[in-house]
Homo-oligomer: A and B are copies of this chain.
Amino acid sequence: MNEFNEYFKSAFTVDNIIFGFDEGDLKVLLINRGEEPYKGKWALPGYFVYPNEDLDTAAKRVLEELTGLQNVYLEQVRTFGAVSRHPFGRVITVAYFSLIKISHYNIQPSSIAKKAKWHSVSQVEDLAFDHKEILGACFNRLKWLVRSRPVGFELLPPKFTLTELQHLYEAILETELDKRNFRKKILSMNLLIDLDETQEGVAHRPARLYKFDKEKYEKFLAEGFSFELKESKKKEKKPRKKVRANLA
């Protein structure tokens, strides 16, 4: 297999876009570049893939070195490999994103982590390389994902209010949602556990706290449910005969 290394000798990396949610805003962790090219610019966290390391493993390593976090939601998005995307040579990058609970994030002692800072996704401009495009692709995938599966919880603290959850969806989808319809829909998934607790220290009526029923969700997944946000656990109303599937 000596043709290996003849055709492709360039650098191979992963970028791991780290999303968080804070102050009602979707955030992304960016690194201030300390070296050329693009010295001083903000860039997405990433690193080379080691020869004996799977891609997912490399992405997790990037995350952990930056945040100390493990067991985090991770999604591969797309691979960017335009010939001239790096001015110093050919670099091919597999883009991932991670969803973390920003409250669990502690700045790490590594030199790279010290250069990291949260930015509002909506205000990011002018990143190094083609990182703006990569961020856009990841953000779009996240938008799609949040409509398809209950991943929003990955970004919230374990206990949250429905209003917080709604603000999260609004931040990701970049739209306003109707409060009553949102609650109806979310509660109809039957994946929230009402903790029978309320907020404390707020200067108004305190809201109920909920947590995500991860066990139930994973049971559903294991049973092969596709689990769109659409699906509602209805109680066997009129079981009308269904012989054929239909579109959309």
Contact = CB atoms under 8 A, between A and B. Distances in A.
A129 interface: no
A82 B54 contact: yes
A246 interface: yes
B228 A1 contact: no
Given A81-B55, A181-B246, A8 B4 contact: no
A69 interface: no
A4 B181 CA distance: 53
A160 interface: no
Contacts of A3: 11, 48
A208 interface: no
A203 B248 CA distance: 33
Interface stretch (A22-30, A84-92, A212-220, A233-241): A84-92
Interface-central residue, A4, A89, A185, by most chain B CB under 10 Å:
A4
A12 interface: yes
A51 B4 contact: no
B88 A4 contact: yes
A4 B89 CA distance: 8
A193 interface: no
